[in-house]
Amino acid sequence: MFPPRRLTFLKTDFSVSSSFAKFIFLIAKVKDRSQIFEVSRRYSIAVLMVGAAFALTFAASPFIEPGISPLFLLAVMISAWRGGLGVGLFATFLSAFASAFVFLPPRYSLQIDRGDMLQLTVFIAAAVIVGSLSAARKRAEEAREVLLVKEQTARLEAERASRVKDEFLAAVSHELRTPLTTIKTLTRVLQRREMTDEERAEYLADIASECDREIDLVLNLLDLSRIKASGVQIEAKRTDAGEVVRACAKLVRAAAEQRNQKIVVEIAADLPFVCADHSALRRALCAIAENAIKFTPEDGRVTFRAERRAGDEVNIEIEDDGRGIAEGDLPRVFDKFYRGQNAGGATEASAEEVPGIGLGLNLAQTLVEGMNGKITVESRLDEGTKFTTRLPIWKEDLAETRAK
């Protein structure tokens, strides 16, 4: 049988080994090197603080009575405040071990009486209290950091919104002023000059074209206002997607012919009906087609393609062989008022020459999504752009197809 003092030492030694094993296991569980460094840094605080308390107590031991030095309590509190509750308890364990083994009589025995146990209980209570306060402080700091990030984000968004508003006002002013200036100039020419019937017809055609441009701009602004005020009013019905594609191609054909562009329409013979709003779908496809015509050079080609893909959807593609869209512009191509630094792959100067304020594609996306559809874009500079609109097949037609 071991004597009582030896049993106390064995129990304490087992406790030391168990705590050290738990600490090693905690380090082993952390796979990230940065986390390992952080855990090591925090626990090294306890080692340094208890080491400093031990050195000061050992230096003063000839002049003070044997006992647990209050310096160890200070070391525990600092460790808990700097490293948290776990570090504070670890510092308590180190302090108890150092005090019991070196400073408490009988020395080098690890025996602890009731008075010493009471002091250690105070140490543990101090570690818990200070560690809890430290955790609360860290949570408050993290909450403050989150609020600071939110405030910075909100400020950046406000600055961006203000910048977009200014750009929008400048673009709208330019778009409104340019057609009116052209109309005014041509009207005065008609009033002051003698000209042939052919010249007069040409000037009147130009005036009509500028009026259409002005009307389209106003209609887009009205659509934007209505969407912002009450959302998109969509009435989904059984819609012939092929008929809508043909109508859209016919509407933009005149603009394409002015630029010597070729319009190609490819519609699958067995194209099913889709669940969509006829008017909304036509406006969305026309907005995409007009964008394709704007950024496709003369003698280019714009292809309308409609076919059923695998699944329960119909794909409507509008593809051109124009300038394409810069890779950096693709994520924002559907944003309001966004035309890109190199719109359509062109330089800034040439992009400014192309009419529009960046509303067409945004309206197209809003209308398509309002019909439970999806619109995507693929593009490469100098190779062309393809917009794909996916719409669900009309449910009754889908049921008949599945029955077959």
pLDDT tens track for 120-177: 777 777 777 877 777 787 888 888 888 999 999 889 988 888 887 777 777 777 777 8
Is the confidence at residue 7, as pLDDT, over 50?
no
Task: Give burial (CB, 10 Å; 0-12/13-18/19+) of 73.
Answer: buried
Average of per-residue pLDDT across 48-62: 81
Predicted pLDDT at 386? 94
Of 388 and 331, the structure prediction assigns the larger pLDDT to 388
The ranges of the chain annotated as CATH 3.30.565.10 are 237-403
Proportion of the chain above pLDDT 70, given as a percent: 76
The ranges of the chain annotated as CATH 1.10.287.130 are 163-230
Average of per-residue pLDDT across 94-100: 75
Average of per-residue pLDDT across 35-40: 76
Q: What is the pTM of this model?
A: 0.50
Q: How distant, in Å, are the alpha carbons of 42, 43, 91 from that of 86?
A: 9, 9, 9
Average per-residue pLDDT in the chain? 77
- Element spanning 350, H or E: helix 348-353
Kindly report the CATH class assigned to 163-230.
Answer: mainly alpha
Predicted pLDDT at 113? 63
Which of 175, 233, 201 shows the shortest CA–CA distance to 366?
233
Average of per-residue pLDDT across 297-311: 89
Which of 59, 58, 87 shows the shortest CA–CA distance to 75?
87
Predicted pLDDT at 29? 53
Of 212 and 312, the structure prediction assigns the larger pLDDT to 312
Confidence of residue 375 (pLDDT cuts 50, 70, 90): very high
Is the confidence at residue 244, as pLDDT, over 80?
yes
Q: Is CATH 3.40.50.620 correct for 237-403?
A: no
The two structure tokens encoding residue 369: 């999504």
Average of per-residue pLDDT across 329-342: 73
